[in-house]
Amino acid sequence: MRLTPISRSDLIRRLKAHGWGGPYAGGRHQYMTKGLAQLTIPNPHGGREIGVNLLKIVLDEAGISRESWLKPQ
């Protein structure tokens, strides 16, 4: 399977399923936490989805492998 664009709400739901808490209010962006780690959540404007390239960056920062992300929830 391949990574596909995702809505912000689906990204948050899936991150919660991987153990991340939040989102919490930050400066310009909300963030989520897992232990001492903090992850900034992108906020695409105009109701657009989060693209594959940005999703790859978020998953890398979150320490989530592509295989783990693509497993059925």
pLDDT confidence of residue 60: 98
Instruction: Domains for the chain: give ranges and CATH numbers.
Output: 8-70 (3.30.920.30)
Measured between alpha carbons, how far is residue 31 from residues 23, 42, 49, 73 in Å?
5, 9, 17, 22
Bond into 42 cis (ω within 30)? no
pLDDT tens-place values along the chain, 73 residues long: 899 999 999 999 999 999 999 999 988 899 999 999 999 999 988 889 999 999 999 999 999 999 999 998 7
Which residue in the block uniquely carries the two structure tokens 């919660």?
A: 16
Enumerate the β-bridge partners of residue 39.
Answer: 32
Q: How far apart are CA 24 and CA 62, in angstroms?
A: 16
